[in-house]
């Protein structure tokens, strides 16, 4: 019937687009632009908007014709909600191949693994939450420290991830990969989530988003306590809140966000196997019951978007106040046989920054083109950066104390051309410049450095052919090193000159892969990849020194599948296999300690089946070399987790999560190094030090809306 109509275009993971059109007697064609709702990092226009639109009910069938690499992907809030999460940081395990573990108290940043990397606490994997960076450069405990404990799962609107240094808008730390975790601006309804379980676990969450004027005000509060199975209870206490005012849409609108997080905890760090074998400490025991810490993160941001028919502009400005006091003891009595080796790491900083990007859709003759340009700025004013020797959290002596002002700026451009209906290319360039200023009590250690580099990127996508696409990508990237070791001296050995290290470590990556939805209800992607680092540079925050490592190479293969045989049932399966070795010869060996070789994960989920819902997940974390000659290796870790529940009413459900269902006695993490227990030789004993997986435990929760 002729007349004026409003059409709504929707695609899972993408913002809705609405068009008002006049329908007459002749055929009408309507085009729409649907930006990716997670971070507006992918825009689809014209014909691409309608690719597989009829199959959009399957959330895994939306990236063929859209993705720019085989390993790029997106996770919906629904998929995340269907996973049992022991720790909030495990939200990153939705990224195929990622493993999240812990070697200390729950308030400390997790340990991450991906693509042959032991990423430590975040180096070589860049993460943002609600548009703000998480990684902390020149951090007291470790370069790129990435604490995700302030993440609130109920607020996550989606996760967009990529792997490799192939995208011009990604800079520092985005070598192995990157993830953007976005928060929603509104909730469908107010939510209350109350849960509890064994080992002193309790959690309460409330979130509302009432209309305020012509916008919405999101208010969320989270409280959590957890002791864990430890002989010395963690007594982890977390207070976490979000306040966000939003106006308009993700296409044309703005939001102002405030976030606040504070936590305190005790820590049971890794322990030596020999001590457990001799009965000197229990499996869930500790050799220094005074380890632990406290941290805070207060942040604010403004996001602004404007979109027209052929252009989109986005601006994000943010400020973060961050602090950490961490007490650890990994070697016990090796360095000080009388008072012990406990040390205190302090980090206090104010972070400020902004990102501006502009995208434009153009026609170059008969070719459809998308050009993107951007500017990124960040400043870390690190006013407290210290390492002290302590005993039972009491000060003994200063090992190092610094203040660092680290400023970086970047400009980038990326071009994407649709050459034919089945060939498109992307080419990008990024330039980064840094100013590193270090002030310290030892004048010879102070100084200023001005590193910088340029990083070209590129890729070609061929297809789709009957739902199958082929990709090839290559690019240069980098991660920064701790500013303190790019200037001058090691204060522990004055006045000897220590070797300076490169501030920005070059990474070279390449990838080839395929993605297909040729089989109904099944999406599969596979990628072959390689990544070279000029140096495995690591600042050892635990010791206050730097180890300038050798150049390295990593390569591997990844397979990810997502199958939806019924609207209420899904299966997923991921396997990642990689190899990592140093590129140059050394008598010590070529293996990189801690490098992950095999990760397998999979799960089955059903929802809304006679008001029942549930999922089962398996994660296999393969053995790893612990020293360079590969003569000492870790054991594999296999965990099975369950989640299930019953929908009591439309907006009320009861949920049970069971972790480590098989109650296996594996390790979350393993290291091999020398430590000393009372009565042992002065040089200590080399041994595997491990942090055990948590024993089987259950949590029950009630979730309701009103």
Average pLDDT over residues 19-31: 54
Q: How confident is the model at residue 442 (pLDDT cuts 50, 70, 90)?
A: confident
Residue 6 pLDDT > 70, yes or no?
no
Q: Do 656 and 643 form a contact (C-beta atoms < 8 A)?
A: yes
The Cα 278–Cα 268 span in angstroms is 18
In this predicted structure, the answer to whether residue 47 has a pLDDT above a threshold of 60 is no
- Examine the pLDDT at 5 and tell me if it is beyond 70: no
Q: Residue 706 and residue 106: Cα distance in Å, rounded?
A: 32
Whole-number Å distance between alpha carbons of 97 and 76: 17
Check residue 564 and give its pLDDT: 92
> Does residue 21 have a pLDDT over 90?
no
Q: Is the pLDDT score of 514 beyond 70?
A: yes
pLDDT value at residue 656:
97
Mean pLDDT of 94-101: 95
Compute the distance between CA of residue 562 and CA of residue 73 in angstroms, rounded to an integer. 12
pLDDT digits (tens, 9 = 90+) for 279-319: 999 999 999 999 999 999 999 999 999 999 899 999 999 99
Q: Average of pLDDT values for 667-692?
A: 95
Question: What pLDDT is attached to residue 523?
Answer: 92
Q: pLDDT (tens digit, 9 = 90+) per residue, 257-283?
A: 999 999 999 999 999 999 999 999 999
Q: Which of 61-75, 254-268, 345-359, 456-470 has the lowest mean pLDDT?
A: 61-75
Tokens 């691409």 sit on residue: 48
Asked if residue 435 has a cis previous peptide bond (ω within 30° of 0), the answer is no
pLDDT value of position 390:
97
Give the model's pLDDT for residue 37: 38
| Cis? peptide before 495, omega within 30° of 0 | yes
Contact yes or no for 175/507 (Cβ under 8 A): yes
For residue 72 the two structure tokens come to 């790029």
pLDDT at residue 29 tops 90: no
φ, ψ for residue 167, nearest 5 deg: -125, 130
Q: Closest by alpha carbon to 572, among 162, 158, 163, 94?
A: 94
Question: Which tokens is 71 given?
Answer: 């390993």
Q: Please tell me the predicted confidence (pLDDT) of residue 298.
A: 99
Handedness of CA 517, 520, 522, 528 (dihedral sign): negative
- Kindly state the average pLDDT of the residues 247-254: 92
Share of the chain above pLDDT 70, in %: 88
- In this prediction, residues 15-29 reach a mean pLDDT of 52
Quick check: 304 and 356 in contact, CB under 8 A?
Answer: no
Residues 394 and 416: their CA atoms lie apart, in Å, by: 58
> Does residue 49 register a pLDDT over 50?
no
Q: Are 273 and 126 in contact (CB under 8 A)?
A: no
Q: Alpha-carbon distance 206 to 220, whole Å?
A: 6
Q: What does the pLDDT read at residue 28?
A: 52
- In this prediction, residue 536 carries a pLDDT of 83
Tell me the C-alpha distance between 683 and 677, whole Å: 11
Burial environment of residue 36 by CB neighbours within 10 A (0 to 12, 13 to 18, 19 or more): buried
Instruction: Tell me the C-alpha distance between 181 and 151, whole Å.
Output: 9
The partner residues of 657 in beta bridges, in order of sequence, read 643, 699
Report whether pLDDT(415) > 70: yes
Residue bearing the bigger pLDDT, 33 or 461: 461
Phi, psi of 533 (to 5 degrees): -115, 135
DSSP state of 655: E
What pLDDT shows up at residue 500? 72
Whether 71 contacts 79, CB under 8 Å: no
Element (H, E) at 466: none
* Residue at token pair 């632990």: 292
Does the pLDDT at position 13 exceed 70? no
Number of alpha carbons in the 13 Å side-chain half-sphere of residue 476: 12
Would the pLDDT of 458 be above 90?
A: yes
| C-beta of residue 667 within 8 angstroms of C-beta of residue 635 | yes
Spell out the domains of the chain, with CATH numbers in brackets: 3-55 (no CATH), 73-705 (2.40.170.20)
DSSP 8-state symbol, 496: S
Q: Is the pLDDT of residue 51 over 50?
A: no
pLDDT score of 496: 39
Segment of 7-21, 97-111, 234-248, 524-538 carrying the highest mean pLDDT: 234-248
Mean pLDDT comparison of 40-49, 181-190, 607-616, highest-scoring range: 181-190
Confidence of residue 599 (pLDDT cuts 50, 70, 90): very high
Query: 577 vs 69, 101, 115, 126, 592, CA distance in Å?
Result: 18, 18, 8, 21, 15
Local structure of residue 80 (DSSP, 8 states): H
In which element (H, E) is residue 275 found? helix 273-277
**Phi (first) and psi of residue 108, to 5 degrees:** -85, 155
pLDDT at 565 over 60: yes
Q: How far is CA 554 from the centre of its chain?
A: 20
pTM of the model: 0.90
- Spatial distance between the Cα atoms of 154 and 187, rounded to a whole number of angstroms: 9
122 vs 132: CA distance, rounded Å: 15
Tokens at residue 283, please?
């499996």
DSSP-derived 3-state class of residue 91: helix
Minimum mean pLDDT among 260-269, 440-449, 592-601, 636-645: which range? 440-449
- Apex 649 CA angle, 644 and 651, nearest 5: 85
User: Which residues, 6+ apart, have CB-to-CB distance to 267 below 8 Å?
Assistant: 104, 105, 107, 108, 234, 286, 291, 292, 293, 327, 328
Which H or E run contains 77?
helix 77-81
- Write down the pLDDT at residue 485: 82
């Amino acid at each position: 019937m002729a007349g004026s109509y409003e059409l709504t275009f929707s695609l899972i993971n993408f913002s809705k687009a609405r068009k008002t059109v006049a329908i007459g007697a002749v055929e009408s064609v309507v085009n729409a632009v649907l930006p990716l709702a997670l971070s507006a990092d992918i825009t689809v226009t014209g014909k691409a908007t309608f690719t597989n639109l009829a199959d959009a009910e399957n959330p895994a069938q939306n990236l063929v014709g859209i993705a720019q690499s085989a390993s790029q992907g997106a996770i919906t809030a629904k998929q995340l909600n269907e996973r049992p999460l022991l720790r909030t940081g495990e939200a990153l395990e939705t990224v195929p191949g990622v493993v999240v573990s812990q070697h200390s108290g729950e308030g400390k940043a997790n340990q991450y693994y991906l693509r042959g990397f032991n990423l430590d606490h975040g180096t070589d994997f860049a993460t943002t939450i609600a548009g703000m960076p998480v990684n902390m450069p020149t951090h007291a405990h470790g370069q790129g420290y990435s604490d995700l404990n302030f993440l609130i799962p109920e607020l996550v609107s989606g996760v967009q991830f990529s792997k490799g240094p192939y995208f011009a808008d990604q800079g520092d730390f985005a070598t192995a990969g990157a993830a953007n975790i976005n928060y929603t601006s509104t909730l469908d309804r107010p939510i209350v989530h109350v849960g509890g379980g064994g080992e002193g676990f309790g959690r309460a969450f409330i979130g509302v988003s009432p209309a305020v004027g012509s916008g919405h005000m999101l208010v969320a509060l989270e409280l959590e306590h957890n002791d864990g199975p430890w002989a010395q209870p963690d007594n982890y206490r977390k207070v976490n809140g979000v306040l966000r005012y939003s106006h308009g849409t993700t296409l044309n609108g703005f939001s102002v966000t405030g976030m606040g997080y504070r936590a305190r905890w005790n820590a049971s760090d890794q322990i030596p196997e020999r001590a457990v074998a001799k009965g000197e400490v229990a499996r869930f025991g500790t050799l220094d019951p005074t380890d632990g810490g406290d941290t805070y993160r207060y942040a604010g941001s403004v996001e602004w978007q404007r979109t027209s028919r052929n252009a989109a502009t986005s601006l994000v400005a943010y400020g973060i106040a961050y602090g950490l006091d961490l007490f650890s003891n990994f070697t016990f009595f090796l360095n000080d046989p009388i008072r012990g080796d406990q040390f205190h790491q302090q980090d206090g900083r104010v972070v400020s920054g902004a990102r501006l990007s502009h995208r434009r859709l153009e026609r170059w003759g008969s070719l459809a083109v998308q050009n993107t340009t951007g500017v990124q700025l960040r400043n870390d004013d690190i006013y407290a950066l210290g390492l002290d020797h302590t005993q039972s959290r009491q000060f003994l002596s200063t090992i190092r104390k610094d203040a660092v002002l680290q400023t970086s700026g970047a400009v980038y451009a990326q071009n994407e051309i649709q050459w034919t209906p089945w060939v498109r290319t992307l080419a990008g360039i990024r330039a980064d410049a840094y100013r590193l200023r270090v002030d310290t009590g030892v004048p010879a250690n102070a100084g200023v450095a001005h590193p910088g580099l340029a990083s070209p990127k590129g890729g070609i996508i061929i297809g789709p052919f009957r739902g199958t696409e082929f990709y090839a990508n290559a690019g240069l990237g980098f991660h920064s090193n701790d500013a303190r070791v790019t200037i001058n001296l090691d204060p522990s050995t004055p006045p000897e000159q220590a070797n300076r290290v490169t501030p920005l470590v070059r990474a070279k990556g390449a990838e080839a892969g395929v993605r297909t939805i040729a089989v109904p209800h099944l999406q599969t992607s596979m990628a072959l990849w390689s990544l070279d680092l000029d140096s495995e540079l690591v600042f050892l925050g635990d010791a206050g020194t730097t180890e300038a490592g050798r150049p390295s190479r990593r390569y591997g293969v990844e397979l990810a599948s997502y199958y939806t045989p019924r609207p209420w049932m899904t299966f997923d399966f991921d396997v990642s296999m990689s190899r990592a070795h140093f590129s140059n010869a050394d008598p010590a060996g070529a293996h990189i300690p801690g490098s992950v070789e095999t990760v397998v994960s999979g799960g089955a989920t059903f929802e809304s089946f006679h008001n029942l819902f549930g999922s089962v997940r398996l994660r296999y974390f393969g053995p790893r070399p612990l020293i360079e000659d590969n003569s000492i290796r870790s054991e594999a870790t296999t965990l099975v987790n369950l989640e299930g529940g019953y929908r009591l009413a439309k907006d009320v459900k009861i949920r049970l999560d069971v972790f480590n269902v098989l109650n296996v006695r594996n390790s979350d993490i393993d290291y091999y190094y020398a430590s000393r227990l009372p009565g042992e030789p002065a040089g200590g004993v080399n041994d595997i030090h491990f942090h055990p997986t948590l024993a089987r435990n259950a949590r029950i929760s009630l979730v309701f809306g009103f």
